[in-house]
């Protein structure tokens, strides 16, 4: 997997990644924001599902993280 600037593509917890994308807010708020981006961003949820993402899972595989970073940019 490739790396984007200083951000490393690897397995992340959903909350961990959400906090990287939304620093300065509570973890709960960060998770809600990331989930809303997935729902609102055209095609993102479908691409995650194709990468075998399950909405209730707490871990994101490197492939799923790469889909997010490709779509949203690096945190």
User: Which has more pLDDT, 70 or 6?
Assistant: 70
Q: What is the pLDDT of residues 11-55, one digit of tens each?
A: 999 999 999 999 999 999 999 999 999 999 999 999 999 999 998
Token pair, residue 20, equals 């990287």
Name the pTM for this structure. 0.88
CA atoms of 62 and 60, how far apart (whole Å): 7
pLDDT at 52: 97
pLDDT at 6: 85
Question: Sign of the CA dihedral 37, 70, 67, 7?
Answer: negative
């Amino acid at each position: 997997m490739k790396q984007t600037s200083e951000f490393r593509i690897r397995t992340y917890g959903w909350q961990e990644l959400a906090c990287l994308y939304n620093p300065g807010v509570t973890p709960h708020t960060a998770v809600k924001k990331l989930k809303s981006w997935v729902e609102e961003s055209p095609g993102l949820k479908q691409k995650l599902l194709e990468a075998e993402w399950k909405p209730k899972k707490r871990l994101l595989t490197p492939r799923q993280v790469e889909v997010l970073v490709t779509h949203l940019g690096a945190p």
